[in-house]
Chain A
């Protein structure tokens, strides 16, 4: 067996890493400037915001793991031959969840089931044909008599998971308390007491409780996912937990990379229009009015249809399914960006129009500072809070939009796991008897938690960064009615 691997950088991976680098830079810069730190301190004092951030952190962790892609080396045939790599692109998450990925059943099975979901014709032990529920290849395969042993086995797994989770949680709590204690210069016991009485500035108690809740749920799932399909399996027998975990990255990429792609345009054009005025303003206004007057679903549909034709007639460009799906995801982010930058651009223009009349900008003008320098040094830093608010507010809308677009058929590649493709494949199965509910339930739970925490976190950020803007920042995409795009 050959364990050599070759790291693979897909397009969206590169953008995700660029985004992480940008955030790191931003944090570093903000940390050094007191006036920039103040609003973020307010975010950190918000209980709901910090709880949401904890949940989001868990999602991001899964997403980042799923972004570290590599190809595995194929077994060497001759010692002299050069290394060949499997065309299959895997990620660190795949490696961690390898049992989930590989233990594929034949078709549907319910969560924690030991038997398939529907009857099949089989050969009985005596050679006669009969119809019964066949045993699963992997789910509950370690049990001799599932009917009798399964409840106890599951209970044991849950206990083990909870025990593991508690241990981990206590460890994290201790480390965190230690850090906070050394930060405050107080003793560990004192800090711990203050923390659990909720007397600290930052609601660490809420963070730890959220983390505890997450771990308590995750622990048993992790333990039991080794023996059962905890969320069941889908039509082709894939583990639904695995599908859901893989969908997280897609949602996160759509929610963040879209903003990254559209940001330069919105920033440059919005500030230019507001600061320079005149024909530049007219032209930029014309561009964004034209773009925003096309209902976004339709523009996205048209663009994605066109790129589909482009990709289908040029199969030679994309050498593997993963690359193809990745390119389509990137393109979807780009076109979503095009439809959503207009709102931010308009907002930035308005703010720049206001700022250019302020004394400090006029002083800069009087000193003869160049126009582009005024825009970069004096306007940009003062509109940046709008960028952050729009970005954070837009995230949840984009995650929801992905599901709708994938249903319409202009979303991500069908080969790519996403909440949209999951819902789409599951909705027809509701007509089955007995009903296949676990696909939808899993997609619902994971998506709801993600979008809910994103919404709560966005609220905290918005309240802290600019109470004036409030809900006036239109959600860039699929702001269902107000954007005129009825999704």
Chain B
């Protein structure tokens, strides 16, 4: 097991190198630092000196990958690639271009609020969707099941933005129940959290419930289920003890991989509700064209996703004793 985990972690390294090279190419080769400087300083009426200053302040005045002027190791280390891309591997994200703040510190402080919204949505969501899907599977081929599916399809056809806008308008503006947006660092944050969590739950409801229902229905036609019924188990017990347990494998594939990315939060939800998490950080970076922050978030996102993949494989061995990684 440990061996398998180590091997998986080692596999992740070339992938992260690939991600790193890709973002480097995207950010520094498609557009030169000169282009970015011109963009940041305003396209017209910008002097060459201003561009040089902008580049020097941020260390973009060095060669891209190979510094032929330097000697020894500095040939490689005194370059944009080394200072801005390779350093991401040790989680040294550098400073934001727009306000000069340390990105690592920002990420550390902003993970909390992101998680405060994303984790309840994830946990309560899983429980609700699975329960609802099990109910539909229990009532399969009845009008109730059919209306459940119709509800799901309708729900998944609505853009998540409408859930947010509708929720904010109804709950906060008309009924005045909770604040429309904002966040608090202490326990009183629950007042700010209710609405984003509820909206998040609604937004994922249709797609996930229907997906889980499909999984359950696939299992329900298996031989072992027929055996369980044949020996006289009540339907509810068949569903929970047999169907649910076996359906956990495909459910886990989808769910576990998402756990690490919960840290990233949700871009739209956080920006609508003014939650100071990583999602709104990314949105702010995008709108202020802060390339360093966007690059850091891309890399961080990939790391978290790969961690999720490894966790998924490990969780398989826990729920499915047939799977062994030797």
Given A302-B295, A408-B283, A484-B257, the answer on whether A423 and B26 have CB atoms closer than 8 Å is no
A289 and B35 within 8 A (CB): no
B249 in the interface (beta carbon within 8 A): no
Main SS at interface, chain A: helix
Q: Which residue of B lies closest to A482 (CB)?
A: B254
Q: Is the CB of B204 within 8 A of A423?
A: no
| Cβ A303 vs Cβ B26 within 8 A | yes
Select from chain A the residue with minimum beta-carbon distance to B168.
Answer: A430
Q: Nearest chain A CB to B190's CB is how many angstroms away?
A: 21
Answer yes or no: A417 CB below 8 A from chain B CBs: no
* Residue in A309, A470, A479 with the greatest tally of chain B CB atoms within 10 Å: A309
Task: Bin the interface of chain B by size.
Answer: 35 or more
Q: Residues 451-464 of chain A: 1 if any B CB is under 8 Å from the residue's CB, otherwise 0?
A: 11001100100000
* B15 interface residue per 8 A CB criterion: yes
Complex Cα distance A481/B18, Å?
24
- Contact residue among A301, A407, A419 (Cβ-Cβ distance under 8 Å from B294): A301
- Cβ-closest chain B residue relative to A431: B173
CA distance A482 to B169 in the complex (A): 29
Query: Is B71's beta carbon under 8 Å from chain A?
Result: no
A side interface size, CB within 8 A: 56
Q: Mark B23-39, 1 if CB is under 8 A from A, else 0.
A: 10011001100011011
B302 and A451 contacting across the interface, CB-CB below 8 Å: no
Known: A309-B36, A481-B208. A293 touches B283 (CB 8 A): no
| Interface status of A354 (Cβ within 8 A of chain B) | no
The answer, yes or no, to whether B184 is at the interface (CB within 8 Å) is: no
Confirm or deny: B118 has a beta carbon within 8 angstroms of a beta carbon on chain A: yes
Complex interface residues of chain B between 255 and 286 (CB less than 8 A to chain A): 255, 257-258, 261-262, 264-268, 271, 279, 282-283, 286
Chain A contacts of B248 at CB under 8 A? none
- In the bound complex, residues from chain A placing their C-beta under 8 Å from that of B14 are 286
Interface centre among A295, A427, A480, A481 (most CB of B within 10 A): A481
**A431 neighbours in B (Cβ, 8 Å):** 173
The docked-state distance in angstroms from the alpha carbon of A487 to that of B301 is 13
Q: Which residues of B contact A (CB under 8 A)?
A: 14-15, 18-19, 22-23, 26-27, 30-31, 35-36, 38-39, 43, 118, 122, 153-154, 156-162, 165, 168-169, 173, 203-204, 207-208, 210-211, 214-215, 218, 254-255, 257-258, 261-262, 264-268, 271, 279, 282-283, 286-287, 289, 291, 294-295, 297-298, 301-302, 304-306, 308-309
Q: A290-B18, A407-B268 are in contact. List 17 more A-B contacts (CB 8 A).
A: A290-B19, A293-B302, A293-B306, A294-B302, A295-B264, A302-B23, A302-B27, A305-B286, A313-B43, A400-B160, A408-B271, A409-B287, A444-B162, A451-B157, A451-B158, A481-B255, A487-B268
